[in-house]
Structure 1
């Protein structure tokens, strides 16, 4: 049985969602199964969006100064 979307990591949910999209794009899936996959995909998208929102909130909290004002932080991917 597949894990609940909330129990998957963001990367796992994204990989499963990509697989569902590929299956549906092929058009070989019976209608009933396609609807189940579509529903699973919706749940995966919602769970992933929630994880992204939580990550964004964490970043905002970490980049605030003592007065609570958000500070822009230089991101250097070369480190």
Structure 2
């Protein structure tokens, strides 16, 4: 791996981590500002997303290949 490519990957990785942390901070703030009933609705929604992902008939690679997201 070239130094330039390694630097770009580190930079992207750092940016991704910063974005994740910003999202977590935002979500925690939201949790603190909303009643438990709202949170329980969110839990149901997230659980339904997780179930749908588990039940999805394609692998990650099968899904991404037609979209051109995977290299040849």
TM-score, normalised on structure 1? 0.45
TM-score, normalised on structure 2? 0.48
Bigger relative contact order, structure 1 or 2 (CA pairs below 8 A, ≥6 apart): 1
Which structure has the highest helix share of the two?
2
